[in-house]
Structure 1
Amino acid sequence: MPHVVQFTEPGLVELVESPPQPLLPGTVRVRTWWSGISAGTELTAFRGTNPYMSATWDPERRLFHEGAPEHSYPVAGWGYSEVGRVVEVAEGVTAPAVGDVVHGIWGHRSEAVLPAESLAWRVLPATADPMSGIFARVGSIGLNAVLAADARLGEQVAVFGQGVIGLLATRLAVLSGAQVIAVDAQPGRLAVAKSLGAHAVVDPRAPGGAGAEIRELTGAGADAAIELSGNDAALHEAIRSVRVEGTVVASGFYQGGAPNLRLGHEFHHNRVRIVASQISGVPVELGRRWDQRRLVEVFMAQAAAGAVGTRSLVTDVVDAADVAEIFARLDRGDGQTLQSVLRFDDAPEDAR
C-alpha cells in the first residue's frame, strides 16, 4: 500500500496509507526515492499558520477573504521537491520511459500517477547526482529572487537568511558576478555561505543592526538586497542596507503582522524600491523571455555542471516513517539543519 505524509492537526505530522491511483491515458507511475522538505512553507502547515488554513483564496480577484479555509486538517500530500523512478507508463506514452529518474512536484508520497508531459522535460541525466533533483524547485525560487534583484557583475548584493534557498541565492548571485554579503545569525550557515563564494558575512545581531553593518562594508550601501528569512525585522534591515534608490527583493514567506517594519524611515528617505518575488511568476520585465520551466532548467543545468554543489546542503536524510522527528527538529529551529530529505523504500541502496 502506498503512503503519504499527512498533517493531521497543528503539531502532528505522520505517514499514513494512501490508496494507489489508477494509471490513466497519458500518465506515468513514479515511485518516489526522495522528497525534500521545504522548512519555510511546510512549517506553516505544521504550525497551523499558513493563510490557506484560515482564509479562502479567490484566484480571480487575487484576494484572501473570510470564509471556509482553502485547506483544513488533515492535509495530505504537501511537498514540492521530489525525485523518483518511472515504473509504469500508459499505452502510447514515449517519454518519460520506464526506468527514467525524474524530478518534479508530487508531494511527500511513496508513489504518484502524473501526466507524462509534465515529466518529459524533467528526466535527470545518467551522469547527474539524482538527489540534485530535490533542489529544482527551491533552486528556481532562489534564481527568481536573484533575477528580481537584477544582480550584475561588480554590484553588491546582500542576501538575508542563509537557509537552503538563501544559500542557493547566494551562490547564484555569485555566479551572476555580484559581490555577495550573506546575513544570518547561525555561524555554521555563514561558513557555508563563504564556501559558496560570499564576499563577506554579517551577523544580524551586530551593533546597530545588519543594515548599518552592510553600509559600513559597502560605503554607500548594497545595490540590492534579497530577503529570504520571512522575518519582518530582517526585511526592515534589508531596506536599511541598500543605497539610495536601491532594490529590496521580498522573497520570504511572511506570517502575521510586521511590527518591526518602519516605512517612514530609510524606505521613505532613500526611495527604496521593494519588489515581491514569488515562484508563481517571474520579474515583470523578463516575462516575455522567462517562465517557471526556464528557471528550473537553468538552475538544474548549473547543478549538473557542478557550479552549484547541492549535495553539500543535505544535512539530514531520514526514513519517511520518521517524518514526525524531523519536523519536530525543524520546529525547534535547529540551526545545524539545512536541507532535510525524506527517504522512501524505493530509494537506491547506494544512496541510502
Structure 2
Amino acid sequence: MTGSQHVVSFTGPRQVGLVEAAPQPLRPRSVRVATWYSGVSAGTELTAYRGTNPYLTGTWDPQARLFQPGAPSFAYPVEGWGYSEVGEVVEVADDVRGWTPGQVVYGIWGHRSDAVVDVAALRGTLPPEQAMAGCFARVGAVALNAVLAADVSLGDRVAVYGQGVIGLVATRLAVLSGATVAAVDAVPGRLERARDMGAATTVDARAEGGAGALVRAWAGGGVDSAVELSGVVSALHQAVRSVVVDGTVVASGFYQGGAEALRLGEEFHHNRVRIVASQIGGTPVALGSRWDQARLVATVMEQVAAGRLDVLSLVTDVVDAPDVGSVFARLDANDPGILQVVLRFPAAPTA
C-alpha cells in the first residue's frame, strides 16, 4: 500500500482544494492506479463548486426517481468527484489477469492522486504519449449519447448549441455521422474551433433576433434536429425555435434553477417540437440494449485512435492539482479562454 493520497474536496460553495486522504486497500479483482491526469468538468463539477447541484439542495429518492424536499443527498465536504481520469497501474491484486504494472489506463476514479479501481471499471489502455486523450472518454460518451438521441442520419441538418468541450465533440461526431452542422455559441474563439471540427456554419448566440431564427433560415425552414449542450435555458429555447415542424431537440445540458426563458406556448407548441432528455446514465430507448456506456466510450476512443476526432487540441490548460481552486474560480467566472482543463498529479511523467 502506498503512503497518503490526496483528493480534491469541495468544502462549501466556492471552496475547493486538495486534501489528504487515507490510502485505499487493494481489493480482489482490482488494481491500484497512480493518477497522471484528471479532466475537470465545466458542467457537473461546477454545480458542486457553486452549490447548485440538486443533490446538494434536496433528497434524491432512487426508488421513486424524484427529488424531494429534505436533507440533501450529498453534504459538504464533497470528495472524489471527477470522471475523466488517466493513470499508471502500479499494483495488481493476486486474482487479476490481463492487467500489469506499467500499463497506462483510463476510467473513472475521481480527482485523486491514486485509487484502487475494479478491473471491470477500467475502460482501456493508451500509449503513454497519448495518455491525456483518456480524459475525453467520458465527455466524449456524453456527446455521442446526445448525437444518438438526435437520431442523426446522412444528409440531416443539425444544430449544436454550446461549443464547450462536449459541444465541440458533438459537432464533430454529428459531422462524422453525415450531418451538415450549424454550431452556436457566444464565444468567437469557440465558433472558430467548431469550424475546425467540421461545422458548415457558425452562429453567434447573441445575434439580434435570436440564434434560433438564424439557424432556421440557414436550414431553409429549420434543422432536422438540434442538440443543446450549454446548459443555458435560453439556448434551449433557441434550439426549439430552430427545428422544423415535428423536429427534435435533445436537451443534454445540466440546467440549473428555473426555466422562465423556455417559452412553451410559442414555437414548441405551434411547431409540435419534441424535446428529448439525454443523460449519460442511459442510452436512447430506441436503441434498446445494443448500446451501453462501454460501447459509447469504445466508439469515441476508436474515433480518437483513428485520427477522426482530435481531442487533444481541446486541452487549453494543464494545471498542477494543488492549484485546483484557481481552475474553478476561472470556470465560475466564465473565462472564455478555457476549454478542457486537465489536473496534473505528481505521478505524471515530466516533459
What is the CA distance between 1:123 and its match in structure 2?
A: 2.5
1:4 paired residue number = 7
What is the CA distance between 1:269 and its match in structure 2?
A: 0.6
1:152 paired residue number = 153
What is the CA distance between 1:27 and its match in structure 2?
A: 1.2
2:272 paired residue number = 271
Report whether the alignment pairs 1:337 with 2:321: no
Report the residue type matching 2:321 in the other structure.
A
Counterpart CA distance in 2 for 1:115 and 1:209 is 48
Contact 2:108/2:121 (8 A) holds in 1: no
Counterpart CA distance in 2 for 1:14 and 1:99 is 29
1:37 paired residue number = 40
Q: Secondary structure of 2:238's partner?
A: helix
What is the CA distance between 1:127 and its match in structure 2?
A: 7.8
Report whether the alignment pairs 1:51 with 2:54: yes
Counterpart CA distance in 1 for 2:47 and 2:126 is 34
Contact 2:215/2:223 (8 A) holds in 1: yes
Q: Which stretch shifts more, 204-213 or 314-323?
A: 204-213
Q: Which stretch shifts more, 182-191 or 279-288?
A: 279-288
What is the CA distance between 1:49 and its match in structure 2?
A: 0.3
Report whether the alignment pairs 1:77 with 2:83: no
Counterpart CA distance in 1 for 2:98 and 2:336 is 41
Counterpart CA distance in 1 for 2:280 and 2:68 is 22
What is the CA distance between 1:116 and its match in structure 2?
A: 1.6
Report whether the alignment pairs 1:96 with 2:99: yes
Show CA shifts across 1:43-64 (max 9, x none): 1000000000011111111101
Q: TM-score, normalised by structure 2?
A: 0.98
Q: Secondary structure of 2:124's partner?
A: coil
What is the CA distance between 1:280 and its match in structure 2?
A: 0.4
Counterpart CA distance in 1 for 2:27 and 2:317 is 35
Contact 1:32/1:110 (8 A) holds in 2: yes
Q: Secondary structure of 2:125's partner?
A: coil
What is the CA distance between 1:288 and its match in structure 2?
A: 2.2
Report the residue type matching 1:296 in the other structure.
V
What is the CA distance between 1:128 and its match in structure 2?
A: 6.8
Show CA shifts across 1:144-172 (max 9, x none): 00000111111100000000000000000
Contact 2:104/2:128 (8 A) holds in 1: no
User: Structure 2: which 5+ runs fail to align?
Assistant: none
Counterpart CA distance in 2 for 1:27 and 1:205 is 49
Counterpart CA distance in 1 for 2:80 and 2:32 is 16
Q: Secondary structure of 2:289's partner?
A: coil
Q: What's the C-alpha RMSD, in Å, of the aligned pairs?
A: 0.9
Q: TM-score, normalised by structure 1?
A: 0.97
Show CA shifts across 1:196-249 (max 9, x none): 100000001112101110111111100000000111100000000000111000
1:248 paired residue number = 249
User: Structure 1: which 5+ runs fail to align?
Assistant: none
Counterpart CA distance in 2 for 1:205 and 1:54 is 31
Q: Secondary structure of 1:223's partner?
A: strand
Show CA shifts across 1:248-303 (max 9, x none): 00000000000101111101111111100000000011022111110000001001
Q: Secondary structure of 1:6's partner?
A: strand
1:23 paired residue number = 26
Report the residue type matching 1:347 in the other structure.
A
What is the CA distance between 1:97 and its match in structure 2?
A: 1.5
Counterpart CA distance in 1 for 2:128 and 2:7 is 30
Report whether the alignment pairs 1:309 with 2:344: no
1:1-352 to 2 correspondence within 5 Å? 1-119=4-122, 122-126=123-127, 129-350=130-351
Counterpart CA distance in 1 for 2:219 and 2:77 is 49
What is the CA distance between 1:126 and its match in structure 2?
A: 2.8
Report the residue type matching 1:118 in the other structure.
A
Counterpart CA distance in 1 for 2:50 and 2:258 is 16
What is the CA distance between 1:125 and its match in structure 2?
A: 3.7
Q: Cα distance 1:3–1:317, how it changes in 2: closer, same or farther (>3 A)?
A: same
Counterpart CA distance in 2 for 1:325 and 1:90 is 37
Provide the identity percentage.
Answer: 65
Counterpart CA distance in 2 for 1:64 and 1:145 is 24
Report the residue type matching 1:146 in the other structure.
V
